[in-house]
């Protein structure tokens, strides 16, 4: 059973018709720029190494690749066709020569990139994942975070746990679920997942996301 819709590979024709932009949620320019400006405000510098987990078709990646020194952007996604779409987005933006590192993987094998990272990002990833997948992602991320590095990740926040009823969010009108994609979680569940992975988590909360996704900051526990 697929846990979300991202097992579906886009055809070259669908990529040429820019359907990848819709598959990752639309709002291409707005959410791409939003995540870039967020990390910039948190101290991202051109020399930093960034890993973008669930990077999709590089909605944010195009901005990061333009800003970071060559070879400093790393993107991992389960869907190889979205990575191919991302390569085409980079070429169209004149950024193909900036050596982005892109890996298709379904187990969050971030160690395949080699080395550690200054920043990790997961935008609209945990919103599509059940808890055990999130914990796997956190365990893998913790292992590649450098000293003082942070994973910023978004989620749909539930007011309590367990919140079994469908939950509408505003703005954006997305309805999330306890046990189906798109998922919502109480912050207490995020704290449990972080603890299970040997991490701490801070609730940053609203960050101007147009569909009310909230921001979290995960750090390796000392
Ligand atoms: C809503 S899209 C967001 C993509 C990107 N972060 C952005 O902001 O455009 C969710 C992404 O998560 C990826 N994804 C879903 N499950 C995954 C998994 N188990 N491992 C890696 N990536 C996954 C999907 O393929 C998709 O590209």
161: domain CATH number? 3.40.50.150
146: tokens are 């450098």
59 lines ligand 1 (CB under 6 A): yes
Residue 168 forms beta bridges with which residues? Answer: 175
* Distance in angstroms (rounded) separating the CA atoms of residues 67 and 72: 10
61 lines ligand 1 (CB under 6 A): no
Per the structure, the complete domain to which residue 113 belongs is given by: 5-220
Tell me: the pLDDT tens digits for 30-58?
Answer: 999 999 999 999 999 999 999 999 999 99
75 lines ligand 1 (CB under 6 A): no
Greatest pairwise CA separation for the chain in angstroms: 49
**What is the tally of structural domains in the chain?**
1
Closest ligand 1 atom, residue 129 Cα: 16
Q: What pLDDT, on the 0 to 100 scale, is given for residue 17? A: 97
222: pLDDT strictly greater than 80:
no
- Which residue carries 């207490």 as its tokens? 188
Give 9's DSSP letter.
P
Helix (H) or strand (E) segment spanning residue 153: strand 145-158
198 CA to centre of ligand 1 in angstroms: 23
63 lines ligand 1 (CB under 6 A): no
∠ CA 28-132-136, nearest 5°, is 75
Tell me: the pLDDT tens digits for 168-209?
Answer: 999 999 999 999 999 999 999 999 999 999 999 999 999 999
Whole-prediction pTM value? 0.98
1: pLDDT strictly greater than 60:
no
136: pLDDT strictly greater than 60:
yes
Of the candidates 55, 177, 197, 41, the residue with the CA atom closest to the CA atom of residue 134: 197
Helix (H) or strand (E) segment spanning residue 161: none
Map 58-91 to HEC letters.
CCCHHHHHHHCCCCCEEEEECCHHHHHHHHHHHH
134 lines ligand 1 (CB under 6 A): no
Q: What pLDDT, on the 0 to 100 scale, is given for residue 95? A: 97
């Amino acid at each position: 059973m697929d846990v979300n819709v991202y097992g579906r590979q886009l055809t070259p024709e669908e990529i040429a018709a820019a359907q990848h932009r819709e598959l990752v949620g639309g709002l291409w320019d707005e959410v791409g720029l939003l995540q870039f400006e967020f990390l910039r405000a948190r101290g991202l510098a051109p020399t930093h190494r960034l890993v973008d987990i669930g990077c999709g078709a590089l909605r944010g990646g195009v901005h990061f690749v333009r800003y970071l020194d060559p070879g400093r952007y790393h993107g991992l996604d389960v869907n190889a066709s979205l990575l191919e779409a991302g390569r085409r987005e980079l070429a169209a933006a004149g950024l193909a020569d900036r050596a982005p590192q892109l890996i298709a993987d379904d187990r969050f094998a971030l160690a395949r990139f080699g080395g550690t990272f200054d920043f990790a990002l997961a935008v609209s990833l945990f919103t599509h994942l059940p808890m055990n997948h999130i914990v796997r992602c956190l365990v893998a991320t913790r292992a590649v975070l450098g000293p003082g590095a942070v994973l910023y990740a978004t989620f749909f926040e539930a007011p309590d746990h367990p919140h079994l009823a469908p939950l509408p969010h505003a703005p954006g009108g997305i309805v999330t679920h306890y046990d189906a994609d798109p998922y919502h979680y109480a912050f207490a569940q995020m704290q449990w997942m972080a603890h299970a992975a040997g991490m701490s988590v801070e609730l940053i909360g609203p960050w101007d996301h147009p569909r009310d996704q909230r921001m979290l900051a995960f750090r390796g526990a000392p």
